[in-house]
A and B are shown apart, each in its own frame.
Chain A
Amino acid sequence: MSTDTAPDRITQAQPSSSRLRSSRIVGWDGAIVLVTVLVIAVAALTVEHFGTSRNAGFLILDLTPVLLLALPMTLIIVTGEIDLSVASTVGLTSSAMGVMWNNGLPLETIMPLCVVIGAVLGAVNGILVTALGLPSLAVTIGTLALYRGLAFVLLGDTAVADFPRDFSSWTIGNLGTSSVPNVLIPLIVISGLFAAVLHATPVGRAVFAAGANPIAAAFAGIPVGRLKFWLYVTSGAVAGLVGVFWTLRYSSARADNASGLELTVVAAVLLGGVSIFGGKGTLPGVVAGVVLLSSLQNALRLASVSTEALTVVTGSLLIVSVLAPNVVTSARAALVRRRARLRTTPTS
């Protein structure tokens, strides 16, 4: 759906877009970074306990799954597709992890296997979308149900909780005696990797090209289908990793782990300034989007504002983040038109 409506929207924006871009002081992703910093600063000053290192640690643990899933999701949405099955993939790998552990496999074997399982699930999405040419929205709504269903088939509504303490405590633990969570290092490395790939490699340029104009990209020699396939594989593999993290963090393998998280991930990515029509977006923006959502959530909870308020805030932010640039663009376009009219009136 997203790709289908793209052309007319793009042609509308095209004539003035380069001009607008140069005249913009900060882009949407720049703005979102600023807003994020602002929100954190205000929260640190006004909300009790928000600024403590202990809370920062919790905040990082909380945002880890969303951030990890948002990274490949960004690349997929930039190519003009979507992957709604990520949270179900997390649930299925978590279930598989529980089953494998029950069958006596060592965790050192289980963890890489989970990533492989995730990659295979992603490959199924990839094949359905690229080889069969099915719409990704429908495909991943289908696999959202399918993978979650299989997770329940594997583990039912029981939980596997007897994972070794070492692994769980590393997952939620801090570096040495500091209050820096262990997960922060891999988080920074993986985010940096995705940012580098998207913004500094031919692969990244191919991702943007495929999203901006798939036909032109194909003519330019970019294997659009293969690219998308591997993005889905990556997305699945990362979801497998998140499945491991989720299971170890709560020390509980359950089929309903991460239920509904796909909506948060998509919301964070779009909030980070990625266009649902593809071809536009930056990874720093997405990271800021994730941090913004998670900090707001955390601060509101600490300020004992209800989670209900947060739901409304999340939804409104999502709509506004897409609405605002549209309003600004049309207002600017109107301005440009008026200037042009004023300029031509005396001569004619």
Chain B
Amino acid sequence: MTLLAQPAEPDTRTRTGSTALDLVLRFRALGLVVALVAVVAVTAAVNPRFVGQQSIRDLLLSAAITMLLAIGMTIVVLTRGIDLSVGSVLGLSAYITADFLQNNTGTPLPVAMLLGLAVGAVCGLVNGVIVHVGKVPSLVATLGTLYVFRGIVYFVAGGSRINASDMPRGFLDFGTARILGIPYLIIVALVVLVLAGVFLSRYRAGRDMYALGSSPEAARLAGVPAGRRLLTAYVLCGALAGLGGVLHAARFGTVDASAGSGLELSVVAAVVVGGVAIFGGSGTVYGAALGALLLTVISNALPVLSIDQFWQQAIVGALILGAIGLDRFVSLRVAASLRTKDSHVD
């Protein structure tokens, strides 16, 4: 009763609270854009050709594959999981697809892409089953499958490699061709990005990923089919890594058993830098894609700025630490602003 007697003041506070909250939440994507613009501006000032058409095209081409994998990783990380096996899945899919094309030169391109996608999806399903049915923590499960899938690539490939001359022309053209000056690869990545973004923000199953990551117990009690959603997350992540493998084969033209080794680190880095909380429940695929783009821009900018290429990994590390530090800071601020909002209730 006494609470209702003074409605004016709490109302304004609520409003200021939520605008501050909005600002803080928007800040993460904003920070990325600022960083991206800053790196591009500085590099372009040193060498204007950095923003030339060809250079930007190369940049987008290199970012496309990391972006695809980062989108898949985001979905898994949202549910509080992690998928360390993406590099191995990419390698497996790249080799199987290339090998298939080598032996069946007449294969239409979409079939080859579907094959790669399917290889990835099966790998993802294996991860999902071990995590969900086997109750094995995702870190352990995917650390294990990182080895297993890579071992399988070695089995399949042995010491051999598939060269550009072994693959059909049309497939390789796909890796370099462009429409209206935009490479196919980046179009594929952008289409996937938008589809994943819409899926996560507009569809029930997508929202469930956030729910599962925020509070698994609450999500289950609210009737979220946790098992099915987890499997979906890992299958999607695997499928996108598989697609990444196909694009890898098309772009580079040569595939050996070590394709994609160590890639999981850059993908996790892109996701973390892109503002996806490693505890799950918060973040967007757009942020992750921006993160992937930023990392690619930095690695392309270093030689232009005549900074030793050796700095690249150190910068990536510092970025990850900065990003999670910022994330922590933001969540503390959010918690604080939520507390002030609550305070007038009691």
Contacts and interface: CB of A to CB of B under 8 A. Distances in A.
Contact of B140 (A133, A135, A308, A319): A319
B254 to A, nearest CB: 20
Contacts of B278: 1, 135, 137-138
B143 A266 contact: yes
A315 B147 CA distance: 5
A263 B135 contact: no
B328 to A, nearest CB: 6
B320 A138 contact: yes
Contacts, number: 165
Interface in A129-175: 132-135, 137-139, 141-150, 152-153, 156-157
A213 interface: no
B18 to A, nearest CB: 25
Q: Which applies to chain B's interface (DSSP): helix, strand, loop or mixed? A: helix
B266 to A, nearest CB: 9
Interface stretch (A4-12, A54-62, A204-212, A231-239): A4-12
Interface string B260-285: 00100100110010000011100000
B141 interface: yes
Contact of B321 (A143, A266, A306, A326): A143
B327 to A, nearest CB: 8
A145 B272 contact: no
A148 B155 CA distance: 30
A312 B317 contact: no
- Residue in A135, A308, A314 whose Cβ sees the most chain B Cβ within 10 Å: A308
Contact of A315 (B137, B144, B155, B316): B144
Interface in B155-183: 155
B152 interface: yes
A146 B80 contact: no
Given A145-B314, A312-B152, A318 B147 contact: yes
Contact of A145 (B144, B145, B151, B269): B269
Interface residue range, chain A: 35 or more
B149 to A, nearest CB: 8
Contacts of B150: 311, 315
Contacts of B135: 9, 326, 330
B321 A153 contact: no
Nearest to B319: A142
A319 B279 contact: no
A142 B325 CA distance: 11
A270 B139 CA distance: 11
Interface stretch (B8-16, B111-119, B304-312): B304-312
A148 B313 contact: yes
A147 B315 CA distance: 10
B24 interface: no
A153 B314 CA distance: 8
A70 to B, nearest CB: 15
Given A138-B278, A311-B154, A316 B144 contact: yes
Contacts of B149: 315
Interface in B60-83: 80-82
A322 interface: yes
Interface string B207-225: 0000000001100000000
Given A1-B278, A311-B151, A319 B130 contact: yes
A319 B145 contact: yes
A312 B148 contact: yes
Interface in B310-346: 310-318, 320-321, 324-325, 328
Contact of A1 (B80, B151, B310): B80
B265 A145 contact: yes
12 contacts: A1-B139, A4-B279, A138-B278, A142-B269, A146-B313, A153-B311, A153-B314, A312-B152, A316-B147, A322-B136, A322-B137, A330-B135
